[in-house]
Amino acid sequence: MNIDIGKFVNLSQKIPVAVLGATGAVGQRFVQLLADHPWFEVVALTGSERSVGKTYGETRWVLDGDPPAAARQMTISRSTPNLPAKLVFSALPTHHAKEIEPSFAAAGYAVCSNASAYRQSLGVPLIIPEVNGDHLRLIEGQRSAQGWPGLIVTSPNCTTTGLAMTLKPLDDAFGVRQVIVTTMQAVSGAGYPGVSYLDIDGNVIPYISGEEEKIENESRILLGHIENGERHAADFRVSAQANRVPVFDGHTLSIAASFMRKPTPEEAARVLAEFPGLDLPSAPRHPVLVRSEADRPQPRRDRSAAEGMAVTVGRIRACPILDLRMVSVVHNTLRGAASGSILNAELLVAEGYL
Amino acid sequence: MNIDIGKFVNLSQKIPVAVLGATGAVGQRFVQLLADHPWFEVVALTGSERSVGKTYGETRWVLDGDPPAAARQMTISRSTPNLPAKLVFSALPTHHAKEIEPSFAAAGYAVCSNASAYRQSLGVPLIIPEVNGDHLRLIEGQRSAQGWPGLIVTSPNCTTTGLAMTLKPLDDAFGVRQVIVTTMQAVSGAGYPGVSYLDIDGNVIPYISGEEEKIENESRILLGHIENGERHAADFRVSAQANRVPVFDGHTLSIAASFMRKPTPEEAARVLAEFPGLDLPSAPRHPVLVRSEADRPQPRRDRSAAEGMAVTVGRIRACPILDLRMVSVVHNTLRGAASGSILNAELLVAEGYL
Amino acid sequence: MNIDIGKFVNLSQKIPVAVLGATGAVGQRFVQLLADHPWFEVVALTGSERSVGKTYGETRWVLDGDPPAAARQMTISRSTPNLPAKLVFSALPTHHAKEIEPSFAAAGYAVCSNASAYRQSLGVPLIIPEVNGDHLRLIEGQRSAQGWPGLIVTSPNCTTTGLAMTLKPLDDAFGVRQVIVTTMQAVSGAGYPGVSYLDIDGNVIPYISGEEEKIENESRILLGHIENGERHAADFRVSAQANRVPVFDGHTLSIAASFMRKPTPEEAARVLAEFPGLDLPSAPRHPVLVRSEADRPQPRRDRSAAEGMAVTVGRIRACPILDLRMVSVVHNTLRGAASGSILNAELLVAEGYL
Amino acid sequence: MNIDIGKFVNLSQKIPVAVLGATGAVGQRFVQLLADHPWFEVVALTGSERSVGKTYGETRWVLDGDPPAAARQMTISRSTPNLPAKLVFSALPTHHAKEIEPSFAAAGYAVCSNASAYRQSLGVPLIIPEVNGDHLRLIEGQRSAQGWPGLIVTSPNCTTTGLAMTLKPLDDAFGVRQVIVTTMQAVSGAGYPGVSYLDIDGNVIPYISGEEEKIENESRILLGHIENGERHAADFRVSAQANRVPVFDGHTLSIAASFMRKPTPEEAARVLAEFPGLDLPSAPRHPVLVRSEADRPQPRRDRSAAEGMAVTVGRIRACPILDLRMVSVVHNTLRGAASGSILNAELLVAEGYL
C-alpha cells in the first residue's frame, strides 16, 4: 500500500478540522499535535457544557508546556454537528461518543475517533494504517447500512496498538497461533486526573478495567481480513494480563507467542525491522524498530522513537514453552491515541474518502 | 512437617550468631530483623577491609530509620571463621561468598546463606521451609562429601521464592507442567546503591542480568525431590522474562501455568489458601494469602502481609491458552532474602542440625 | 507539665470512642491507630450517606495493608450524636465538621477534631500537648459561652505541627522574632484520592491552597498564651511558601529564623534535644530529635521516628541573613493528623476533662 | 547588548568544535544539542582512557533516545590539545578540568567550560550572556596574565543560573539586598549514575555537597561588575539551603528577597517579564517568563520553556518579612549546563573572540 500523496491531496488548501472533547487529556494532545499539521487546520474545538463559551486558553491545560498560541484564542463550542469542519477528531468519553459520533456521521462529517464506542459495531473500521488500512473498505457498507453521508473510523486501544503492530509482520510471515501477553501500562493511559498518586506511587496495580478484553478482541480484529464486505477476526488466541505501573507515558508489553511456522529470533527480528511504512505525513519510515541491546526497549527511553509513532521491539529470543518471547514499547498517547487517529485521517484523505 | 519446637529448642539460652557482610543492604536487614529474635543473638558482625575496626554505628545505614541500638556499638570484624558464633548468616556478595562460606562450614559453623554461590552445587540444600524443608536431608551427604563438621544451607533468589511458594501447593494438587512468568521487580532487589534514579525513574527496564536463568532453574530445584540422597529437579518447564520497575520493595509476578490436571480457579484458590504454615518463630500461619479483589495483590499494599513472610496471590482465573493466570507478590528483601534465611536457620535448629 | 497518669486514669475500663468520617484517609488512620490503644476502645464508626449501613470491611481501605479485624465487622453509622461513645475523633471534611462537631459538643461529647473548621473560633483550643497543653484552659470559657456540656479540641494543620514543635523550645529559650519557611509537603496531606499522579510525578507544585495562611496563623496561636481566659497569639512574624513534592508521607520544612537573643547552632541543638516529653501513651520521650548528619532529616528515613510522633531537626547552622537555618521533618498523617488528635484526647483524659 | 549577528559571523562555514568528556551525561547533552547547531560543527569527541579508540556509538548513551547519527561514527580521542577544532566545550569532571582546560587555552583553543574548576580564578569570566555578558572583558587580562593565545570562559552552577537570571532584572531596577533561597533540585544535576533510586525515591535529601556555597558565591559574582579589568562581586547577601527532590530535570527555587527600594509584586513581575533577550541562536526572546497562575512554575511543566533556555518565575507576592517572595524554575541540564555553555560560545563568536 504505497500511497502517492501527490495523487490525492491538493496541498494548496488545508482541510478544516474540529476536535470534539478538546479539553480532556486526549483532546489536548490532538490540539497540540494538529498545531502544525501540513494537511489539517483546526477551526473548532468542542467541550462539555461547563466550558462552552470560554476561550480554550481559559481551560486548564494538563499537558506539559502550554497550549498552541492559535488554539488559545478559540472559543469552545458544543459538540453538535454544525461546525465549519469536514473532518472531526473525537476525544469524547465513550458514553458521549456513543451518541455524538453518529450524529456527526449522519450530518456528513468524517469522524476519526479515539473512543471505544464503535470499535466493534455499526460497520466501523478499526484501523492502524500500516496493519489493516484495507479495512477502510468497510466504509462503503457502513454508509449504506447507516444511511450516512459521512463516516466513522476508529483507532484501537493503546495497548492493542502496540501488540498488533508487533504481531502483524510476524503473522504475515509465520502465522500467529497463541499470544500470552503481560502489560506494564503508563498512568497517562487512564486520562486526567486518572490515577491517584497514593494508589500508584511505588506500586503495581495488576488490573485495568476492560483492558484485557480489549486486547484480546481488538488484536484479532486488527489482524483479521475483509471478505465480501464483512470483517472476519483472525483466529489466534490471546491471553492478556494488564498492569498499571508508575510510568508517565509508554506502555510495555512482555509477549510470548507461538506460530504456525516457528521462526528463529533472527528471522523474527528481520521481519519486524522490514515491516514497511507508509508515505503519509505522520507515518514513520519504519513502524517497528528492533533493538538488540539486552535492556531495551524501555518506555522512557524508547516511547518517543519516530515522534512516538514507532513501536520498539527487543529481547527477541526463543521461549522454552511457546516459540518466541519479546518485549514491545508503544507510546500510548501518541501512536496509541491522538497521533494514531491523525494517521487514520491522513489515510482517509490519501484514499480519497474526504 | 509439623515441628514441635519444644522438643528441639532449649529457650533458656539464645544461640550466638554472626552476620557476614553486615554493612550491605541485605546484611543490614539481617541485623535489623535479628535484633529481637527469640532464638538468636547477634554477637558478631563482619565487613570488608574498609569497615573492619569501625563500630557498626559508624558505617552508613541505608535502610530507613536507624540501626538497632545493640548493634551500633559492635565492632566490625573480618569475615574469618574465628567468630564467637555457632551460626552465621551470609549476606556476602557472590564472589566473596564463594570463598568464605566453605571456610566457615569447614570450621564447624552452620552457614545460612542468602548468596547464590552454592545454590546448585556442593550438595548444598536450597530451601524454603514450607516448600521443601525435607531437602535438609542433603546435609548429610554434603558433610561427608566435603568433610565439613559445619554445613551450608541457602535460600533461593527472591523472585523464585515468590514463584515456588505459589507453585508448590498447585504442584502437589494438580501437577505443574508449564509456567510462563513475567516479573515486575522492586529496585531494592539490586542492592545498594544499585539502580540509578536516572535509569529507573518513570521507566521499566526489561532485563535483570542472570535473573531469568535463576527463576527457571531454582524453581525446578525447589519443587524437586530427594531420592537416595540425590536432588532431582522437577521436570516442568519455565519461561521467565524479568523486568525492573520503579517500586521500592516487593516483587510482582504475572503467571500463566498449565497442569497435569486442569484446576478451576476456585480449586486453585482453595489449595493455595490451605497451604499449611510451620510452627517456627518467623513462619506465617498461612504462607500463601489469596485475595479476591480485582486489583490485588499490589506490591506496596501486600508485600508486608504477615511481616513480609506471606506470598499474596490474586487474579486467579482461567487462561485462554494455558490453564490458569494469576498474580503473586512477594517481599523481596524479607521472605525473599533476609527473613527467608532466618527461617531456614530456625528450621535447622528445630530439626536438630545445630 | 509532668502528668501522673495513675492519678487520672482508671485503666480498669477503656473509654468508648467513635470515629466520625471513618472511611476517609484520616479516618482510616484513626481506626488503624486506635486498634490497640491502651485507654480507648472504638465502639462506633460513622460515614457519609453512601456508606451508612455497610460494614466497615465493605468500604474501600486506602491505606497499605488491611483494616483492623475488629473494625471490619462494625456497621457504619450516621454522624449524629447518638453514638455509644464519650469521646469522638473527627476526621470529617471541613464543611461537614462545621455543622456536626458542635452538635456533638452540645450533646455532651468530647470532640477531638483534626478538621480546620474551629481552629480559630468558638473558644476552641488548638493543641499540641507538649507545646501548649495549658491552652486546654480555654475549655471552661468555651463551655460557658456555647452552653455545651461537651467540648471541642482541635489539632493543628500538619505542617504547622512540625513548625510549632521546632519553634517552641527555641521560643522559650531565645524568643522567636521572624520565621521564613519553605515547605516540601507529602502527597498524603491532600487526602484520598487527592493529587493525580499526572500532576505530581517528577514534579514540584509550588502552591497548596490555604496552607500558607494556616502556617502563618496557627503557629502564632500555638506559641501564644492564655491570659484572663483569652488566647493571645504570639507576635513573631512568619513567611511561608508551601510546595507539594512527590513524597508519600512526611513533610519537610526548610526554616530560617531570627530571635530576640541569637543562639549559636549548638545552643539551639541542645535546647531542641532537651525539649521534654509527656507521660502519655502516645507521647514520645523526646518530642524533638536532633540529627547531626549533613544530609538529615529526610522524610522517608525520619518520618517514622518514635512511631511518627517525634519531629526530627537537622542542618542547624548560622544563617547569613537571619540567625539560624535548620530543616525539620514531621510525619503529616501521624503526629500531624490522627496521632496528634489521639494525643490530645489522652491529654484531655489525663487532665480530667472526660 | 543587541548583537547584530551578521556583523560578526560568516555563516558560510561552520566553526569546528570538540566536546571534552563527551561520554558523561553533560557531555552527551553537548553532543545532542550541537547536532544541528547553525554555527558549530562537532569534529571531535574526547573521553577517558577506557573509551579512547571506541566509536561514540559503542559507549553507553544515558539520555533518552539515541545519540545523533553523525556522532555515532566518530572515534573517541584523548583530551589532549591536538584536536582539529577552534572551540572546545568542556564537560570534564572538575579534577580533570583543572588540568586539561588550561592546556587547551595555552594551545590556542577557546574553552567553554561547564566545570566549576575555574569559576572563581585565573581571571576566567563566569558568564550568563543576558546577565553579565560584559564580563567577557576579563579575557584580555586572562590572556595577558596567563600568556594564553586561547581562553577559558565558564558557565555557572545550574541552580545559581536560575537564581541569577531571576535576580538580575530586579537588581537593576531595585537593588538586591538580601536573598534567602531554598532549592528543590532535580536528580539529573548529580550526573550519571549519580543518585541511587533507593536514596531519593519518595524522599527529600536536604543537602547537596558544595551547592550552597556555590549559590552564595557565584550569584554575587554574576551580578558583580568589572572595574579596571577587575571583577567585583555584588555585595548583597545570600542564604541558601539546597535540597534534592525526586524530579528528573528542572530545579525549583523558593526565594525571599529584600531590596534597596521595595517593589510591589506587580513592579517586580513587569521588570522580570521585560528583561531583554539577545540575538543569538540559542538565546530565548524572553530570558525570564512570568506566570500568574497560583500553582506555577512547576519543574516538569515549565523547565522546557523556550527550549529549556528561559527561567520561569511565579508566585510573586509580598513577603511578611523581607520584601518579596517568588518561585523560579530553571532547566538544570539545558540553560543550567550544556545549553548555557553553548550560548556562551555563541556570545564569544558574536563578540569576535574567535
Examine the pLDDT at D277 and tell me if it is beyond 70.
yes
Instruction: Please tell me the distance in Å from B313's CA to the nearest CA on chain D.
Output: 26
Examine the pLDDT at A65 and tell me if it is beyond 90.
no
pLDDT at D249: 97
Nearest CA in chain D to B192: D198
What positions of A carry a catalytic annotation? 158, 251
Where do the DSSP E strands lie in A87-149? 87-90, 110-113
pLDDT at D7: 44
The residue among D178, D179, D180 with the most chain C CBs within 10 A of its CB, best to mutate, is D180
Which of A296, A300, A315 is facing B202, going by the closest CB pair?
A300
Q: Residue A10 — pLDDT band, cuts 50, 70, 90? A: low
The runs of H, that is alpha helices, within chain C are: 5-8, 25-34, 69-72, 94-106, 129-132, 138-146, 158-174, 197-200, 211-222, 265-273, 299-302, 305-308, 339-350
The alpha carbons of chain C give a radius of gyration, in whole angstroms, of 20
Give dist(CA D42, CA D342) in Å, integer: 12
Q: DSSP per residue over C244-308, as a string?
A: E-S-SS-EEEEEEEEESSPPPHHHHHHHHHTPPPPSSTT--S-SEEE--STT---HHHHTTHHHH
Instruction: Work out whether strand B324-330 and strand B251-259 pair parallel, antiparallel, or are unpaired.
Output: antiparallel
The runs of H, that is alpha helices, within chain D are: 5-8, 25-34, 69-72, 94-106, 129-132, 138-146, 158-174, 197-200, 211-222, 265-273, 299-302, 305-308, 339-350
CA distances from A65 to A68, A191, C127, D304, D337 (A): 9, 17, 43, 7, 21
The tens digit of pLDDT for each residue in B192-212 reads 999 999 999 999 999 999 999
Q: DSSP per residue over D172-215, as a string?
A: HHH-EEEEEEEEEE-GGGG-SS-SBHHHHTT--B---TTHHHHH
CB proximity D300 to A under 8 Å: yes
Question: CB–CB of C196 and A197 under 8 A?
Answer: yes
What positions of C carry a catalytic annotation? 158, 251
Examine the pLDDT at C60 and tell me if it is beyond 80.
yes
Question: CB–CB of C204 and D321 under 8 A?
Answer: no
The tens digit of pLDDT for each residue in C322-339 reads 999 999 999 999 999 999
Q: Residue C9 — pLDDT band, cuts 50, 70, 90? A: low
Strand partners, A258: A178
Question: CB–CB of A65 and D304 under 8 A?
Answer: yes
In the numeric block, which cell numbers belong to residue B311? Answer: 506470598
pLDDT at D320: 96
Instruction: Please tell me the distance in Å from C100's CA to the nearest CA on chain B.
Output: 33
Examine the pLDDT at B48 and tell me if it is beyond 80.
yes
In the numeric block, which cell numbers belong to residue A248? Answer: 508517565
The residue among A64, A197, A293, A303 with the most chain D CBs within 10 A of its CB, best to mutate, is A64
Instruction: State the burial class of residue A110 (Cβ atoms within 10 Å of its Cβ: 0-12, 13-18, 19+).
Output: buried
Q: What is the mean pLDDT of residues C211-234?
A: 95
In the numeric block, which cell numbers belong to residue C20? Answer: 466520625
Instruction: Please tell me the distance in Å from B324's CA to the nearest CA on chain C.
Output: 26
Q: Which residues fall within 8 angstroms of residue B228, CB to CB, at 6 or more apart?
A: none
In the numeric block, which cell numbers belong to residue D58? Answer: 559503542
CB proximity B304 to C under 8 Å: yes
Q: What is the mean pLDDT of residues A85-104?
A: 96
Q: Which residues fall within 8 angstroms of residue C95, CB to CB, at 6 or more apart?
A: C117
Question: CB–CB of D202 and C327 under 8 A?
Answer: no
Q: Residue C176 — pLDDT band, cuts 50, 70, 90? A: very high
What positions of D carry a catalytic annotation? 158, 251
Element housing B25 (H / E): helix B25-34
Give dist(CA A282, CA A307) in Å, integer: 9
Average pLDDT, chain D: 95
pLDDT at B294: 96
CB proximity B188 to D under 8 Å: yes
pLDDT at D53: 96
pLDDT at D8: 47
Question: CB–CB of A300 and D202 under 8 A?
Answer: no
Which chain D residues are Cβ-neighbours of A200 within 8 angstroms? none
Dihedral sign from CA coordinates of D109, D112, D116, D119: positive
Instruction: Please tell me the distance in Å from B296's CA to the nearest CA on chain A.
Output: 6
Examine the pLDDT at C3 and tell me if it is beyond 80.
no
Question: CB–CB of D241 and C327 under 8 A?
Answer: yes
Instruction: Please tell me the distance in Å from A278's CA to the nearest CA on chain B.
Output: 29
Instruction: Work out whether strand D40-46 and strand D324-330 pair parallel, antiparallel, or are unpaired.
Output: unpaired
Q: What is the mean pLDDT of residues D89-94?
A: 95
The tens digit of pLDDT for each residue in C141-169 reads 999 999 999 999 999 999 999 999 999 99
Q: Is A137 helix (H, G, I), strand (E, B) or coil?
A: helix
CB proximity A304 to B under 8 Å: no
Nearest CA in chain C to B58: C293
Q: What is the mean pLDDT of residues D259-285?
A: 98
Question: CB–CB of C206 and D252 under 8 A?
Answer: yes
Examine the pLDDT at B241 and tell me if it is beyond 60.
yes
Which of A64, A201, A301 is facing D304, going by the closest CB pair?
A64
Which of B25, B193, B198 is facing D187, going by the closest CB pair?
B198
Going by the DSSP 8-state scheme, the letter that residue C323 receives in this structure is: S
Question: CB–CB of B247 and A206 under 8 A?
Answer: no
Examine the pLDDT at B153 and tell me if it is beyond 70.
yes
Cell 532535580 appears where? D186
CB proximity B193 to C under 8 Å: no
Dihedral sign from CA coordinates of D283, A65, A199, B159: negative
Instruction: Work out whether strand A311-318 and strand A237-244 pair parallel, antiparallel, or are unpaired.
Output: unpaired
In this prediction the pTM is: 0.95
pLDDT at A11: 59
pLDDT at B5: 45
Q: What type of residue is D86?
A: K
Cell 594564553 appears where? D148
In the numeric block, which cell numbers belong to residue A351? Answer: 484514499
Give dist(CA B350, CA B279) in Å, integer: 9
In the numeric block, which cell numbers belong to residue B89? Answer: 548468616
Report C:200-229 residues touching B (Cβ under 8 A): 201-202
Going by the DSSP 8-state scheme, the letter that residue C9 receives in this structure is: -
What positions of B carry a catalytic annotation? 158, 251
- Assess contact for C287 and C128: CB atoms under 8 A: no
Instruction: Work out whether strand D251-259 and strand D288-290 pair parallel, antiparallel, or are unpaired.
Output: unpaired
- Assess contact for C148 and C105: CB atoms under 8 A: yes
Examine the pLDDT at D34 and tell me if it is beyond 70.
yes
Q: What is the mean pLDDT of residues A321-331?
A: 98
Report A:256-295 residues touching B (Cβ under 8 A): 256, 294-295
Q: DSSP per residue over B174-205, as a string?
A: H-EEEEEEEEEE-GGGG-SS-SBHHHHTT--B
Instruction: Please tell me the distance in Å from B188's CA to the nearest CA on chain D.
Output: 7
What ipTM was reported for this prediction?
A: 0.94
Which chain A residues are Cβ-neighbours of B203 within 8 angstroms? 247, 298-301
Q: What type of residue is D192?
A: Y
pLDDT at D64: 87
Which chain D residues are Cβ-neighbours of B194 within 8 angstroms? 196-198
pLDDT at C8: 47
In the numeric block, which cell numbers belong to residue C247? Answer: 513524597
Question: A307 — alpha (psi -120 to 50), left (phi > 0) or beta?
Answer: left
Nearest CA in chain D to B191: D198
Q: Is B331 helix (H, G, I), strand (E, B) or coil?
A: coil
% of chain C exceeding 90 in pLDDT: 93
Question: CB–CB of C252 and D243 under 8 A?
Answer: yes
pLDDT at B1: 42
Going by the DSSP 8-state scheme, the letter that residue B78 receives in this structure is: P
Q: Residue B65 — pLDDT band, cuts 50, 70, 90? A: confident
Question: How far does CA D184 lie from the centroid of its chain?
Answer: 17
Neighbours of chain A (3+ CB pairs under 8 A): B, C, D
The tens digit of pLDDT for each residue in D109-138 reads 999 999 988 988 889 999 999 999 999 999
pLDDT at A148: 96
CA distances from A101 to A93, A105, A343, B319 (A): 11, 6, 19, 35
Q: What is the mean pLDDT of residues C118-125?
A: 89
Q: Residue D9 — pLDDT band, cuts 50, 70, 90? A: low
Instruction: Please tell me the distance in Å from A87's CA to the nearest CA on chain D.
Output: 31
Which chain D residues are Cβ-neighbours of B25 within 8 angstroms? 198
Q: Residue D170 — pLDDT band, cuts 50, 70, 90? A: very high
Strand partners, C151: C110
Which of D184, D207, D325 is facing C184, going by the closest CB pair?
D184
Which chain A residues are Cβ-neighbours of B204 within 8 angstroms? 184, 245, 247, 252, 298-299
Examine the pLDDT at A9 and tell me if it is beyond 80.
no
Which chain D residues are Cβ-neighbours of C327 within 8 angstroms? 206, 241
CB proximity A60 to D under 8 Å: no
The residue among C29, C185, C198 with the most chain A CBs within 10 A of its CB, best to mutate, is C198
Where do the DSSP E strands lie in B34-162? 40-46, 76-77, 87-90, 110-113, 151-154
- The structural domains of chain C, ordered by start, are 5-157+337-350 (3.40.50.720), 158-332 (3.30.360.10)
Examine the pLDDT at D265 and tell me if it is beyond 60.
yes
Strand partners, B23: none
pLDDT at C120: 85
Q: What is the mean pLDDT of residues B42-51?
A: 96
pLDDT at D339: 97
Of residues D175, D181, D245, the one with CA closest to residue D208: D245
Instruction: Please tell me the distance in Å from C173's CA to the nearest CA on chain B.
Output: 29
In the numeric block, which cell numbers belong to residue D319? Answer: 513577603
Give dist(CA D112, CA D342) in Å, integer: 8
The tens digit of pLDDT for each residue in A205-235 reads 999 999 999 999 999 999 999 999 899 999 9
The residue among C60, C62, C192, C196 with the most chain A CBs within 10 A of its CB, best to mutate, is C196
> Counting every residue, how long is chain B?
354
